[in-house]
Amino acid sequence: MTDNSRIEKILKLLEKENGAPRPFRKTPPVDELIRTILSQNTSDTNSVPAFHRLKKHFKSWDSALKARKSEIARLIKHGGLENMKAERIKAALAEIKKREGRINLANLTRLDVGEAMRYLRSLKGVGPKTAACVLLFSFGKPVMPVDTHIFRVAKRLGIIGKDLGIEDAHEALTHKVPKDLIYRFHLGIIEHGRRTCKSQNPRCGSCVLYKLCRHPYL
């Protein structure tokens, strides 16, 4: 079985078990950037409400840029690491406005994946996962964002090597997963990691991928 056919089989089994992923719909790039910064080192349960509080409080990202860091930190406090994330948000907004003349990332459309990735990663506090989320969810570019669930499950399935670091996993999975399957793979593997292939006490006995798993309990 080739790597591509194995990945296709994995996705078919996951989607039969959990249902198809939500239809792809592009998100505003700056929104996606801020949302993903807020998600760093916390769960969606904490970060999503923090993002909605920012959007409700500020009429525009220009308004957020003009606000004090302490005001932003107060709004996102329940998301965790509020001071660090408030600083990163203000720094990113300021740098984008400096480069583009406005807080807008539409120009990334014209760049190839490598150039767009370098642009985003040059912003303070933006790592490979945050940059990849913006490129995938806002521009539909074939880049794989790798969170802890994807990193863990991909290793257990033997899709990436067990000794590979998480930063290198972004590039490895971006090249290994067929471009047209990246979105489905990203959402499907995250859901599987949350429901079944947990970090501690994975539910191997009820796992639809067990026969394809090369490293149970890794």
Of 39, 11, 215, which is closest to residue 130 (Cα–Cα)?
Answer: 39
Residue of 69, 77, 90, 129 marked active site: 129
d(CA 103, CA 93): 6
Q: What does the DSSP assignment read for 148-179?
A: HHHHHHHHHTTSS-TT--HHHHHHHHHHHS-G
| 129 is known as an active-site residue | yes
Contacts of 149 (CB under 8 A, 6+ apart): 189, 190, 192, 193, 194, 197
Please report, as a single letter, which amino acid is at residue 196. T
Count of beta carbons in the 10 Å neighbourhood of residue 2: 7
- Please give the DSSP secondary-structure letter assigned to residue 28: -
d(CA 145, CA 186): 7
Catalytic residue annotation:
129
